[in-house]
Structure 1
Amino acid sequence: MRNTSSESADALADGPLAAQLLSPETFPRFVDDCIALIGDEIRKKGMTLRTAFKVTQKVKPDITERTVRELSPDFVHALEPCYAKYRAEGGEDLRAHLIAHEDEVADAMLIAADRRAERIHNRTIHSAYGRVRGRARREISEAMPQIASVIARHAE
């Protein structure tokens, strides 16, 4: 298991989904599962992306964990309206609900990512985000069953 520190998560744990996923008990396992999901998704991609990811990991071994820890609160909070809708509809199967509302989930995640990107002052990172942003919706859609599984595993 990764570092159990979740200061940024604790500061934002105010909605029912955030209270579950960002709690000190759950957050480290949630982060581990997100990191595994990213690794699985990268392995499905082309040689260029896999190589770039591998090089990045060698240069900054903690980049994936750090990024997941920093962005998770933004993504989780963006998903609160979708989670509220799920609960209002009876809350039977969160994974199925997230998959059925894939567009809403993808939009929420992209809005959160875009907001974060607006605050990036590093031109290289900002430029890299701009280059991949156009493909982001498709990537989220392709990974939605796995994303939904990770979220559902750690929420009610």
Structure 2
Amino acid sequence: MTEVLKEALLAPDRRATVIKDIEQLIDAEVAEKNGVGGMAVKSGYAVVKKMNSTFVSEAVDSMLDRFVDSVEPFYAQHQASGEGSFADHLVANSSDVADALLGVTDDRAENSRRESVKKAYARLRPQAKKHVEDALPRLGDLIERHMSAVQSG
């Protein structure tokens, strides 16, 4: 299988922009959360960003290769089908896509040497799949934007 996303999104001249765009996607998703659960997500996210303003971008950078690997098969399916937008394809396969993406963060948390990270992740993980599924339209749009830029450039 051709690794189209890997070649485009992880290219040295594009990687920093992809990371910045993903951080903005995360910021936007967190900002839209509401209710008691949303308040918890917002406050936790604010604490993390206040403690270390580069934490999110560093975390995205460290996991980006694996995130791209996990999305690549869905992109190949979408390309083969030739139907709709990639965002629509991700939403139509939201459970599988979320599981694939969360597999990356599950591994990262499991292999952390810091118990505080493991405990915090364990508290947030039960709601994570819904949050990831909610973010898939933006993620699909982000990927399509980058793929269009690569193809036209």
Same-fold call, TM cutoff 0.5: yes
Displacement after TM superposition at 1:92 (Å)? 5.7
> Does structure 2 conserve the Cα–Cα contact (< 8 Å) formed by 1:43 and 1:50?
yes
> What amino acid maps onto 2:65 in structure 1?
P
Residues 113 and 61 of structure 1, relative CA distance in 2, 3 Å threshold: same
**Cα distance in 1, alignment partners of residues 62 and 21 from structure 2:** 15
Match of residue 109 from structure 2:
117
Q: Displaced runs of 4+ in structure 1, greater than 4 A?
A: none
**Cα distance in 1, alignment partners of residues 133 and 28 from structure 2:** 15
Q: Which moved more, 1:143-152 or 1:84-93?
A: 84-93
Q: Percent identity?
A: 31
- Which 5+ residue runs of structure 1 have no aligned equivalent? 1-13
**Cα distance in 1, alignment partners of residues 63 and 85 from structure 2:** 25
Match of residue 128 from structure 1:
120
Match of residue 62 from structure 1:
54
Match of residue 16 from structure 2:
28
Question: When the two structures are superposed, what TM-score results if normalisation uses the length of structure 1?
Answer: 0.82
Match of residue 16 from structure 1:
4
User: For this pair of structures, how many residues does the alignment match?
Assistant: 143
**Cα distance in 1, alignment partners of residues 145 and 56 from structure 2:** 20
Q: Is 1:40 the equivalent of 2:46?
A: no
- Which 5+ residue runs of structure 2 have no aligned equivalent? 149-153
RMSD (Å) for aligned C-alpha atoms = 1.9
More helix by share: 2
> Does structure 2 conserve the Cα–Cα contact (< 8 Å) formed by 1:18 and 1:73?
yes
> Does structure 1 conserve the Cα–Cα contact (< 8 Å) formed by 2:4 and 2:72?
yes
Match of residue 45 from structure 2:
53
